[in-house]
Amino acid sequence: MKIQSIRNGSSFKMSFIKNYLPLIIAIVALSIGIDSFVRGYSSPYYVDINRLMEGYKRTKIEKEIFEKKAKILSSSIDSLMSSWQDELKSYEKERRSMTKKELSLKQELLTNKQQQLNTYQQTIQKKIREEEQKASQTVINDINDYVKEYGKEKNYKIILGASGNGNIMYADDSVDLTDIILQHLNRAYEKN
């Protein structure tokens, strides 16, 4: 009887191992994979995009260049607007002495000039927005390129960008690369 129960126990173990061997192998492989992942994974780092944009020296220079262009473009609108207003004032003073035909022609002329001025003003405002966007994009491209190179150089797996819009709700200061990257970015810009 003892021999029979030993055989049954041995048979049970063999059956158990045989049926669950793939599961056991999968669990061991998963454990090894998780361990490898955890050992090879560095914690993510982040940069505060707003601080980079504000602290990057090229941002200030691009902003100054943009403001000069915008001022020049706006001044042409201002001078045309001033000229049109002078013409309107002149028309108001002289209109009592004008004939109906002269009044009609002058009103049409002033209306056409106002429409042209409005169209020109819209065109200039669009140009100003495009120039501003171009200046911003230049700075953003510089920052993105530099952060990418910095991450490769330091062998980081991931660098997140925080912009204050809820992307990163909390992160320890030890994973904030903003100041380090800003220093290196400004040095690289000054070399060029």
* Of 167, 169, 147, residue with least CA distance to 159: 147
Residue 168 Ramachandran class (φ > 0 left, ψ -120 to 50 alpha, else beta): beta
pLDDT band at 141 (very low <50, low <70, confident <90, very high): very high
Question: What is the residue-averaged pLDDT of the chain?
Answer: 82
pLDDT digits (tens, 9 = 90+) for 72-107: 999 989 999 999 999 999 989 998 898 999 999 999
**In the block, which residue shows the tokens 């990057």?**
56
Residue 18 is predicted with a pLDDT of 59
Task: Go through the chain and tell me how many residues it has.
Answer: 192
Better pLDDT: 8 or 167: 167
Higher pLDDT, 108 or 27: 108
CB atoms < 10 A from the CB of 146, how many?
Answer: 19
Return the pLDDT at 132. 94
* DSSP state for residue 161 in the 8-state scheme: E
pLDDT at 36: 47
CB 46, CB 170: distance < 8 Å? no
Above pLDDT 70, what percent of the chain? 75
Q: What is the pLDDT of residues 14-66, one digit of tens each?
A: 555 556 556 556 565 555 545 444 445 567 888 888 899 999 999 999 999 99
Strands 45-48 and 159-162: parallel
Best CA proximity match to 49, nearest among 127, 126, 164? 164
Q: Is residue 122 within 8 Å of residue 68, measured between CB atoms?
A: no
Q: What is the pTM of this model?
A: 0.64
pLDDT confidence band for 1 (50 / 70 / 90): very low
